[in-house]
Chains A and B, each alone.
Chain A
């Protein structure tokens, strides 16, 4: 029970920080908008009613805007000197991890839904099955946030942490969750039914479970001093 209440406390603390400091969320929303706008204008000569670029554009936007949401979660504790307080608190490292994981999951998911809306406004696409699309976005975001949290905890301790987060995150995330999600999303845009997606969904679910488990098991080694 103590783990759950500690997780809840960390979760609420993170959300409170994010929503009190609205600058943060605002700039992340603006960043998503800017990324999508750049895609819109550099691909201007492409006919988007029949393009296959929809799914990669969507996921690259998720990836880079999500990265900026991940960067401060542990960095902030180091910069503001609250890391010591957090470590002195009689709670386990895994409840810190889960609290932060759930809070960032909600924020990044909100960010991704916003990007998806902007995406459909910018690019003329035949509407895919929204239920399946949202399902894949939720599943992909779980894996992204689970591993991203762990890597963010590592990069917070490094010099040039802003650069190191993408450097560490890309090789391990891109080839697993992101690629599988891009493929599944591509199938959805292509008009696939749920049965076609079952393999992709199983894989993303497996990644989610593995990444959450490895975050839970490994965070002890990162946070302990």
Chain B
């Protein structure tokens, strides 16, 4: 077993342990929210998924930039793997968010809320990114194209933010409000959930990059001996 495999297993075990702790804390330990009631308990995993998706898309941007700079396939694999995981977590964040919104606001989605809108844009951009990947042949050309698209897609996030000055804010701001509205056990639960999902992300990322590297190697061997 290589060192990397051991690290992956440690990540996944840490994530499993923290997820179960987090579940216990979210459902049994954390107090019920004053105004929102039990519905608010979805918040811990909603925030954690959203955080992981932003982190994953950030890593994709980093990987894309590094690929264009160095032309090293390692970074292309990193960018792609991270984007795929990011889309999964972003979907989870959108679904949990919609369920929460239905309970609190009475509707699944508020179209003129800024944060919801930005997350939707990110989600669409990276779904398009994955579609680009699956419609092109593996190789340097695909790596360059997806890096360019990843960078432009990410660039559009602040731009579309600027384009929408009229948005109202329904979405609660958790981080910036100096946790005034959150009680200490709630913050602790949130931190546990965020760490659980971050470890899960890192574990999956390691497995996924390994998988893609192997796929890359197989492609190379196929090219050497000729396609059948």
CB pair B132–A171 under 8 Å, yes or no, is no
Q: What residues of A have a CB within 8 angstroms of the CB of B121 in the complex?
A: 171, 175
Q: Are B125 and A172 in contact (CB under 8 A)?
A: yes
Provide the bound-state CA to CA distance between A199 and B164, in Å. Answer: 11
B residues near A167, Cβ cutoff 8 Å: 128, 131-132
B136 part of interface (Cβ distance < 8 Å): yes
Closest to B147 in A: A221
Q: Is the CB of B148 within 8 A of A172?
A: no
| 30 A–B pairs (Cβ distance < 8 Å), ordered by A | A150-B148, A154-B145, A158-B132, A158-B145, A164-B131, A164-B132, A164-B135, A167-B132, A168-B149, A170-B124, A170-B128, A171-B125, A172-B125, A172-B128, A172-B156, A175-B156, A175-B159, A175-B163, A176-B163, A179-B160, A180-B163, A203-B162, A203-B163, A214-B151, A214-B152, A218-B148, A218-B151, A221-B68, A221-B147, A222-B145
CA of A201 to CA of B65, assembled, Å: 31
A residues with CB within 8 A of B: 147, 150-151, 154, 157-160, 164, 167-168, 170-172, 175-176, 179-180, 199, 203, 206-207, 210, 214, 218, 221-222, 224-225
Q: Assuming A171-B124, A176-B160, is B152 touching A225 (CB within 8 A)? A: no
Interface pair B160/A158, CB less than 8 Å apart: no
B66 to chain A, nearest CB (A): 13
Q: Which residues of B in the span 39-80 have a Cβ within 8 Å of any Cβ on A?
A: 68
| In contact, B141 and A225 (Cβ under 8 angstroms) | yes
Residue of A nearest to B71 (CB): A221
Cross-interface CB contact of B163 among A157, A158, A179, A221, cutoff 8 Å: A179
A154 engages B149 (CB within 8 Å)? yes
Complex alpha-carbon distance, A180 and B165, angstroms = 10
A74 to chain B, nearest CB (A): 12
B153 cross-chain contacts in A, Cβ below 8 A: 171-172
CB distance from A199 to the nearest CB of B (A): 8
Give per-residue flags for B164-177: 1 if the beta carbon is below 8 A from chain A beta carbons, else 0. 11000000000000
Q: Do A210 and B159 contact each other (CB < 8 Å), given the known contacts A157-B145, A172-B152? A: yes
- Evaluate whether A158 and B136 lie within 8 angstroms (CB atoms) in the complex, with A176-B160, A214-B155, A221-B144 already known: yes
B residues less than 8 Å from A147 (CB atoms): 152
Q: Chain B residues in contact with chain A, CB under 8 A?
A: 68, 121, 124-125, 127-128, 131-132, 135-136, 141, 144-145, 147-149, 151-153, 155-156, 159-160, 162-165
CB contact between A154 and one of B148, B155, B159 (< 8 Å): that residue: B148
Cβ contact within 8 Å between B128 and A218: no
Starting from the known contacts A158-B136, A179-B164, A221-B148, 13 additional A-B residue pairs (CB-CB under 8 Å) come to A147-B152, A150-B148, A167-B128, A168-B131, A168-B132, A172-B156, A175-B160, A176-B160, A180-B163, A207-B163, A221-B144, A222-B144, A224-B144
Q: A176 and B159: CB pair below 8 A?
A: yes
Closest to A181 in B: B163
Cα A221 to Cα B127 with chains together (Å): 22
Output the nearest chain B residue to A225 by Cβ-Cβ distance.
B141
Cα distance A207–B161 in the bound complex, in angstroms: 12
Known A154-B149, A176-B156: A159·B135 in contact at CB below 8 Å: yes
In the complex the two chains form, what is the Cα distance from A86 to B27 in whole Å? 63
What chain B residues lie within 8 Å of A170 (beta carbons)? 124, 128
CB-CB under 8 A from B144, the residues of chain A are: 221-222, 224
